[in-house]
Amino acid sequence: MRRSAQLVNYVLVAASGMQWQPIATAPKDGTEVLLTDGHWTRTGYWAKRIETWSVDTAVSLKPPTYWARLPAPPADVCAILEKEIEDEEKM
């Protein structure tokens, strides 16, 4: 299961035309990005308060060596979210 999730993330990056970049160039402003060390791939962000990468797992992992921007969600998902926000604002 873990391996298939990694493959999905790699395919997302490849299909979107994004490229993996060295971790030293990653944003450290709280922006969520894809992170990898070549074995695992997770979403995460730079946690300024503790000065480390925070990833979406409770398991301790090796520090990431590369990062990529997250792809934009599909347009239909954006439309659904915009409608939900509009409906909430009407309440």
Model confidence pTM above 0.85: no
Which residues lie below 8 Å from residue 56, measured CB to CB, with a gap of 6+?
A: 42, 43, 44
Location of structure tokens 């060596």? 65
Which sequence spans correspond to the domains of the chain?
2-90
The model's pLDDT over 4-40, given as tens digits with 9 standing for 90+, comes to: 666 666 666 666 667 889 999 999 999 999 888 888 8
